[in-house]
Amino acid sequence: MRRVIILGSTGSIGVQALDVIRANPETFEVVGLVAGSNREALDAQAAEFGVADTGLGEVEAEQLVRDVEADVVLNGITGSVGLGPTLAALEAGRVLALANKESLIVGGELVKGIARPGQIVPVDSEHSAIAQALRSGSGSEVSRLVLTASGGPFRGRSRAEMASVTPREALAHPTWDMGLVVTTNSATLVNKGLEVIEAHLLFDVPFSDIEVTVHPQSVVHSMVEFVDGSTIAQASPPDMRLPIALGINWPARVAGVGAPLDWTASHSWTFEPLDDVAFPAVELAKKVGRAGGSYPAVFNAANEQAVAAFHAGRIGFLDIVDTVARVVDLHEMPSEEITRESLAETELWARATADRLIAAA
């Protein structure tokens, strides 16, 4: 029986995790639930699953993770506010099923420095796919990682054609149902840039050996190419319950958690090169990732501010990544050692700088 704490329990990842647990009561027990602000929904979840330990917000999440006995912490919080709970889970010795990519990206070596080997299990479908494919060979046999991207709602459009994109259009993702920030990030491909940095940190593969290919069907979730020319891909219908279940039960699979592909039917899968001119976020993320240190925190914080400004009607769609790039260019790496406090200060600077550039536009 796996004792599970779910952070972000009323969000998309949390709700789907509870679907998995509800269907597998002999495998999982929910021992803690934390939501962002929706107390009514949180209380309903706690009543259904018989959970006494609950909380709201990242501060209470940290405390609950440290105090409640658990085997696994699923961090499904959105944004860099998930860093504190991530560090708390690792310091408490829990297995961390990580859906909150921002905490690893922002925390970088700070997170990796306290994580034991195998303590972080990825929940993003792409990184879960890579983790599964890596079972096929040793680390020294890996040639490169290939992350797939749906291409979002604007796949195939030129940069000029996206100049007048509206917030409503940006939220019309063709495959996944996600929150406002993640869905917008998928439209700009900032999300794929963040995933490239995450892949580098999770699997210790250099950025030169991490590629992105556009796969609109979202059935092949990512691939690992090995030195002998073999490529191992993980394929399944687009359903986050599969990587969530694997994340909280790693390395064992949960039977029946998702429907398999129908191999008696015809399938057409396509793969296309990424248009770096129309979608410069991935190359910008690689630049930021190579710089390391506090640069990924700047990238993420500036993006969160720009996304909010776009949805408030203060900037255009293309201005999101343009603003992030300008903030990154203005950043100077602090000379002192990276700490949680210094990262928080850097994020405040990045948000303020992004706001200033947006106001001046």
Give per-residue pLDDT as tens, 315-347. Answer: 999 999 999 999 999 999 887 788 999 999 999
**Which pLDDT value is given to residue 19?**
98
Q: Is 293 annotated as a binding residue?
A: no
Q: Is 267 annotated as a binding residue?
A: no
Helix 125-133 to helix 190-203 angle, to the nearest 10 degrees? 30
Report how far residue 256's alpha carbon sits from residue 18's, in angstroms, rounded to the nearest whole number: 15
The structural domains of the chain, ordered by start, are 2-123 (3.40.50.720), 292-361 (1.10.1740.10)
Q: Is 38 annotated as a binding residue?
A: yes
**Which pLDDT value is given to residue 79?**
84
- pTM exceeding the 0.85 threshold for the entire prediction: yes
For the chain, give percent helix, strand, coil, nearest 5: 50, 15, 35
For Cα atoms 97, 87, 140, give the angle at the middle one, nearest 5 degrees. Answer: 60
Q: Is 173 annotated as a binding residue?
A: yes
Q: Is 101 annotated as a binding residue?
A: yes
Report how far residue 187's alpha carbon sits from residue 194's, in angstroms, rounded to the nearest whole number: 13
**H helix or E strand, kind and range, residue 75:** strand 72-75
Q: Is 100 annotated as a binding residue?
A: yes
Q: Is 230 annotated as a binding residue?
A: no
The pLDDT > 70 percentage for the chain reads 99
Q: Is 179 annotated as a binding residue?
A: yes
User: What six digits make up the tokens of 65?
Assistant: 């993770």
Q: Is 84 annotated as a binding residue?
A: no
pLDDT tens digits, the chain, 361 residues: what are they?
999 999 999 999 999 999 999 999 999 999 999 999 999 999 999 999 999 999 999 999 999 999 999 999 999 998 889 999 999 999 999 999 999 999 999 999 899 999 999 999 999 999 999 999 999 999 999 999 999 999 999 999 999 999 999 999 999 877 666 678 889 999 999 999 999 999 999 999 999 999 999 999 999 999 999 999 999 999 999 999 999 999 999 999 999 999 999 999 999 999 999 999 999 999 999 999 999 999 999 999 999 999 999 999 999 999 999 999 999 999 998 877 889 999 999 999 999 999 999 999 8
Q: Is 9 annotated as a binding residue?
A: no
Report how far residue 151's alpha carbon sits from residue 138's, in angstroms, rounded to the nearest whole number: 31
Alpha helices, DSSP H only, in the chain? 12-23, 39-49, 57-67, 83-91, 101-107, 109-112, 125-133, 167-170, 180-188, 190-203, 241-249, 281-291, 295-311, 317-330, 340-360
Report how far residue 338's alpha carbon sits from residue 109's, in angstroms, rounded to the nearest whole number: 9
Closest among 265, 259, 220 to 241, alpha carbons compared: 259
Q: Is 158 annotated as a binding residue?
A: no
Using one digit for the tens of pLDDT, what is the confidence trace for 89-109?
Answer: 999 999 999 999 999 999 998
Q: Is 12 annotated as a binding residue?
A: yes
The neighbour count for residue 19, using CB atoms within 10 Å, is 15
**Which pLDDT value is given to residue 82?**
93
Q: Is 124 annotated as a binding residue?
A: yes
User: What six digits make up the tokens of 42?
Assistant: 């949180």
